[in-house]
Chain A
Amino acid sequence: MKQKLNAKLSLLVIVFTLLVLLLTACGQSDRVTLKVFNWGDYMDTSIIADFEKEYNIKVIYSTFATNEDMYVSLKSGGNSYDVAFPSDYMISRMINEDMLHTIDMNNIPNYKYIDDKFKNLPFDSNNEYSVPYLWGTLGIVYNKTMVDDPVDSWEILWNEKYSKQILMLDSQRDSIGITLKMLGYSMNTKEEDQLEEAKQKLIEQKPLVLAYVGDEVKDKMVGGEAALAVVWSGDAVAMKWENPDLEYVIPKEGSNLWFDSAVIPKSSKHKKEAEMFINYLSEPEVAFRNTDYIGYSTPNKETMGMLDQELIEDSTAYPSDAEIENCEVFEDLSDTLQIYDRIWTEIKSS
């Protein structure tokens, strides 16, 4: 018994020294610590180690799953992220709510590498708050062996011939958005009758839909479980690589063009270092490593020059200007979002 007690006591001592060590370790270093908040599996993490070495800055890296998760984390306070990577509509919302620092572009010399196409975007029209990180489109991926009609319009998703072979995204803005596009309206519409029309269309489509899916769409399409699916271009590149029977199109009515950009939240305590980090990510070499690891499209001109010719010519990842002509970037809908919520619930429960 005595031995047991001694063992227990020593365990306690070990635990507390561990605790003390942990606590002091946080306070001791005089290096600046930079807190980065990114999507899960959305950066080649060896880049962070290189940045730490080169600039003698410590990076704390955390991840989130959705824009809304990230927004809640930043909004609820009690943490101080220095760099975050929200998408387009979330950036405009954060700008409206005064949650972002302006970025001094003089400190981001590598901004010159960003293609002019990706400057002055509607969510940040004066390039004051964000530096594009990755971008892509939304479209239809289809299995060539299972679909014999030409795929060039969203209407194919309403074709009864493919009943129970269609996968839709379980994401209200994307699914309602493409329906609006098909009907010839804007993806950012706030008109209630247009939304109502889209709702009717989606309810009409529901019996044809095999499932409303998230990221499992990739496995299902690669495995040939469905003929048609709505996917993001970055995932389409990966899927085509796994299964050459798959092809990706951006329907002629237009679609969604999306961006994930680097921003500096107001809570940041190290704006200068945050700008150094964003600049580092925009270095052509570094941007190449990221786009190569993740497979999504880079907005960096120089980096595009380093990519495989095959990939550049593949319009899945790098569509021509004509293809994205009708595409729209999501805007913040503010209060209209409640209508989307209601409509989506009605569709799902119909």
Chain B
Amino acid sequence: MRFLKRFYLGLIFLFLYAPILILMVFSFNDSKSRGNWGGFTLRWYAELFRDREIMSALYYTIVIAILSALIATAIGMVAALGIHNMNRFGKGLVINITYLPMLNPDIVTGISLMILFVFVNMERGFISLLIAHITFNIPYVIFSIMPKLKQMNQHLYEAALDLGATPFYAFRKVILPEIMPGVITGLIFAFTLSIDDFVISYFTTGAGVSNLSIVIHSMARRGINPTINALSTLMFITVLLLLIIVNKRTANNSGKENVI
């Protein structure tokens, strides 16, 4: 039984990580083809940093992800507070309206945003891409904060006001710490969704502003350049290291609490 458990787990990890492993191995392949092993090389890593198209795509992907996640979290947090304090009917209505964009296929969101930008005669580029990303991120932020607000004891806020706190002070000192886990989840959620997105970005971006998914997609005709393998490897390792650091820190923290 124990063997079966281990085997099953191993199988899951194999399917999840085998493709990534192969991609990493082929980032060191001294041949543009994936059908041929041409020997070990670091050439694609050197070329990666010289390739200005990929570099600028990486820059835009990260800047858009950070900005859109932060702005969407700010807007989403305020929206969640507002929705939480609505009456029953209004709440149900607004929550359903917020659900819609999440259920909509990306392509519908993408095309309608594109038509909107063309309609208001706005040149598509960085700003339109950012607005689009903020737009599709907001519902996810709202829905990760709402449960936290529901869990919170309503009277805490009132008690703070009774004790002389201004509403803003009470928000900062009472509500925000309570809903912080939801805010962080929303922020990370928005960040990942933004990095991942292809369809909506594709329709809302303009000349010179492409994120990584668009650049990779446009390589379809000539075949994916192995520099992409190199880039993916670096990104994977960065994320892995970050995860390890974060886990270590939380492990240390809980260890300390136990001692106390």
Contact = CB atoms under 8 A, between A and B. Distances in A.
A243 B38 CA distance: 11
Contact of B122 (A62, A78, A216, A242): A78
Interface string B36-56: 100000000000001111000
B141 interface: no
Interface in A8-67: 11-12, 15, 18-19, 22-23, 26, 35, 37, 39-42, 45-46, 48-49, 60-66
Given A49-B52, A76-B114, A215-B221, A15 B208 contact: no
A15 B124 contact: no
A40 B36 contact: no
B249 interface: no
A61 B208 contact: yes
Contact of A79 (B35, B123, B219, B224): B123
B221 A65 contact: yes
A220 B221 contact: no
Interface in A255-295: 294
B222 A42 contact: yes
A22 B126 contact: yes
Contacts of B32: 238, 242
Contacts, number: 120
B177 A219 contact: no
Nearest to A73: B206
Interface residues of A, number: 51
Contacts of A49: 52
Contacts of B121: 78
A76 B112 CA distance: 12
B207 interface: yes
A315 interface: no
A80 B210 contact: no
Nearest to A22: B126
A23 B33 CA distance: 41
Interface string B239-255: 00000000000000000
A64 B218 contact: yes
Interface in B225-249: 225
Contact of B117 (A66, A78, A238): A78
Contacts of B220: 40, 65-66, 214-215
Given A40-B218, A40-B222, A79 B124 contact: yes
Nearest to B216: A40
Given A76-B118, A78-B122, A219-B33, A63 B210 contact: yes
Interface string A137-179: 0000000000000000000000000000000000000000000
A305 interface: no
B70 interface: yes
A223 B35 contact: yes
Contact of A35 (B34, B35, B208): B208
Contacts of A5: 172
Contact of B35 (A1, A12, A242, A294): A242
Contacts of B215: 40, 63
Given A63-B210, A222-B35, A41 B114 contact: no
B91 interface: no
A135 interface: no
B161 interface: no
29 contacts: A1-B177, A5-B172, A11-B70, A22-B126, A39-B221, A40-B218, A41-B218, A42-B221, A45-B52, A48-B52, A49-B52, A60-B208, A63-B53, A63-B218, A65-B218, A76-B114, A77-B118, A78-B122, A80-B207, A215-B221, A215-B222, A215-B224, A218-B33, A220-B35, A222-B33, A223-B36, A224-B35, A242-B33, A243-B36
Given A216-B223, A223-B33, 12 more contacts: A22-B63, A22-B126, A41-B219, A48-B52, A60-B207, A61-B208, A63-B210, A80-B123, A215-B220, A218-B33, A238-B32, A242-B32
Interface of A: 1, 5, 11-12, 15, 18-19, 22-23, 26, 35, 37, 39-42, 45-46, 48-49, 60-66, 69, 76-81, 214-216, 218-225, 235, 238-239, 242-243, 294
Interface of B: 31-36, 50-53, 63, 66-67, 70, 114, 117-118, 121-127, 172-173, 177, 206-210, 214-215, 217-225
